Amino acid sequence: MKPIHLVALALLGATCARDARPVLSFYNWSYYIAENTIPDFESEFGAKVVYDNFSSNGEVLAKLQTGGGGYDLTVPSDYMVEILIRQGLLEELDFSKIPNIANIDPQFRNTPFDPEGRYSVPYQWGTTGIGVNTRYVKEVIDSWEALWNPAYKGRISVIDDMRSGLVPALRLLGYSVNETDPARLQEARDLMFKQKAFVRTYTSDTYLDLLKSGDVWLAMGWSGDIYQVMRENPDVVFIIPKEGSYIWVDNLVIPKGARNKALAESFIDYILRAQVGADISNHTGYSTPNRAAFPLVADTLRNDPSLYPPAEVRQRLEFMKDVGDATAVYTRIWNEIKSH
């Protein structure tokens, strides 16, 4: 038997060895990764992942503007990537360390928000629409107008985001989701103010539980989120309003000054493996930009038009873009709507 002090030293050494593992600090949306993704990475790469969540692109921007929060990797949406690039808040990626980039479908490379594909790698994509609990809503919902229906007062939720939150009003008015005209944005603001009396909450994450429980009957939300609810509550359906909406791509990016850039690039390459990418889509219900992963995605997902919309629906969807100086207008309007 080893002397007690030697056993203690051995245990201390083992603890130090564990603590000495390289650490990846990952900042991601809620409910947005498979259960096995991080544990498998930690096991294979001998690393530790510190995993935190955010609920809006604005949170990511604020975090990176104040020094990055110590994160090595985060997942902003398309238009926010463009803003972060312009503000010099992202590291250029070393694609010699990300060979699985070859698995990405060409339509998701060289995007308008990162034209040369130097700073971002597509993670998941999807659409934005309305989750409807048909147990309580008996009429056929096909328009954003439903979010203004007094019959559903207190049973409506809207995404809490300065850009996404204005989409229902902008599309009802016939305007682009990338509208910059101050007068038109004011119209959208006024329309959203008329809706406010009917809204139970503005949220980008808790609407899943509210919709599932029946506390909310109509939830503006993202396709994969609603799909997660549909799995547990067959009364819930997802619709893309006839007026149109937006299609989005969330992207893996490395904040400027990240302490573990090489490990972050290893994680990105790992995410781009076919099976890893398929596992994430199968778990979250979001659409994969990974053409190697697509055949491994469950048939129920691959064949669902709400997750992979047909061409005629895609024609009514826009990508969000950086609206430049109008960002301040969106921010002001959204703060007014929420605080009024």
Per-domain residue ranges for the chain? 4-125+250-302, 126-247+310-339
Decide if 263 contacts 24 (C-beta within 8 A): yes
Cα–Cα distance, 79 to 105 (Å, whole number): 19
State the chain's mean pLDDT as an integer.
92
Q: pLDDT value at position 10?
A: 47
CATH architecture for residues 4-125+250-302:
3-Layer(aba) Sandwich (3.40)
**What's the CATH code, domain 126-247+310-339?**
3.40.190.10
φ, ψ dihedrals at 124, nearest 5°: -145, 160
The reply to whether 4-125+250-302 and 126-247+310-339 are identical in fold is yes
Q: Across the beta sheet with 73-74, what order do the strands follow?
A: 48-54, 23-29, 73-74
Q: Which amino acid is at 332?
A: R
Assigned token pair, 70: 């110590």
pLDDT in tens, 162-187: 999 999 999 999 999 999 999 999 99
Mean pLDDT of 24-51: 97
Q: pLDDT value at position 18?
A: 52
- Could you tell me the end-to-end alpha-carbon distance of the chain, in angstroms, rounded to an integer? 72
Q: pLDDT value at position 6?
A: 42
Residue with the larger pLDDT of the pair 58 and 190: 190
Q: pLDDT value at position 210?
A: 95
Distances (CA, A) of 136 to 73, 147, 200, 217, 269: 41, 14, 16, 7, 44
Pure H helices in the chain: 4-19, 37-45, 57-65, 78-86, 167-172, 182-195, 207-213, 223-232, 261-271, 274-284, 299-302, 311-314, 326-339
- CB contact set of 180 (below 8 Å; sequence gap of 6+): 323, 324, 325, 326, 329
Look-up of token digits 């203004």:
148
Band of residue 9 on the pLDDT scale cut at 50, 70, 90: very low
Q: At what angle do helices 78-86 and 57-65 cross, to 10 degrees?
A: 20
Question: What is the pTM assigned to this prediction?
Answer: 0.82
Cα–Cα distance, 198 to 217 (Å, whole number): 12
